[in-house]
Amino acid sequence: MRVRVGEIRRIIREEAELDERAMGSSDATGLALLLNVDSNSIQAVLYRADQTIEDLVAGKGEKELSKNIVASIDASKLYGSRYFSVDAVAADGGWGPFMYDIAMANSPGLAPDRFSVSKGAKQVWSKYAGRGDVEAVPLESKVHLHGEPELDNAYVMKGSGPDVSGLVAEHQRVVKAVREATGNNPNNAVIDAAYKHCHTAIGRANRGEQ
């Protein structure tokens, strides 16, 4: 689900994401979470579980499946650092902070993109700098720095982060149901749908739509 960072910066009105509308695990009824984590990357996709099963069993394609995507985030390890940076985020109303928290909780620390940070993104990271459950750690000098404190930190989750065990279990239910019905693992289809969801968001942003 790789999308060019320059494109992603046009997707998200991040200044609106970390506010009172922020959603969490308790709001995720009917949703599932595909979560892939390794030493170099993090990928998380939040999607509507039952509709995705129905659509995959019916053989529907990426365009239809993308309508079931609620939010996604992609992050990768910074070169020359132990920390990760956000590569791509797309989220429907209120789910952005939850996805950031998931990525942060599953990495040594999460930092802004090192080369392109929008005005809205700066506000997002400023809010993280003021959160009591997040520690701001200055990035190493060998990493490209912006010269602004909130952008030159990695943000480390102090606790365990959001409890997504139920959402991950729900994804495993989806995998089992689709495999039993079709013989296929749905992971790639969900990831491709998230990619399409991102590009749909790009199109809306380029047209000036919310």
pLDDT in tens, 181-202: 999 999 999 999 999 998 887 6
Looking at the chain, the whole-number percentage of residues with pLDDT higher than 90 is 58
Cβ distance 31 to 98 under 8 Å?
no
**Residues constituting the chain:** 210
CB 124 within 8 A of CB 150: no
How is residue 132 written in tokens?
Answer: 């009591």
- Identify the pLDDT of residue 70: 96
Number of domains making up the chain? 1
Count of beta carbons in the 10 Å neighbourhood of residue 26: 8
Over residues 147-169, the mean pLDDT reads 92
Q: Which residues contact 99 (CB under 8 A, 6 or more apart)?
A: 44, 46, 71, 72, 73, 89, 91
Mean pLDDT of the chain: 85
Name residue 111's beta-bridge partners. Answer: 85
Closest CA to 96 of 207, 21, 3: 21
The domain of 168 spans 5-206
Does 132 or 17 have the greater pLDDT score? 132
User: HSE-up of 137 (CA within 13 Å, CB side)?
Assistant: 18
153 SS3 class? strand
Q: Poorest-confidence range of 60-64, 142-146, 152-156, 189-193? A: 142-146
Q: Which two tokens stand for residue 51?
A: 């509709």
Instruction: Report the pLDDT value the prediction gives residue 26, as an integer from 0 to 100.
Output: 92
- E-strand ranges in the chain read 31-37, 41-48, 69-77, 84-91, 110-111, 134-138, 153-157
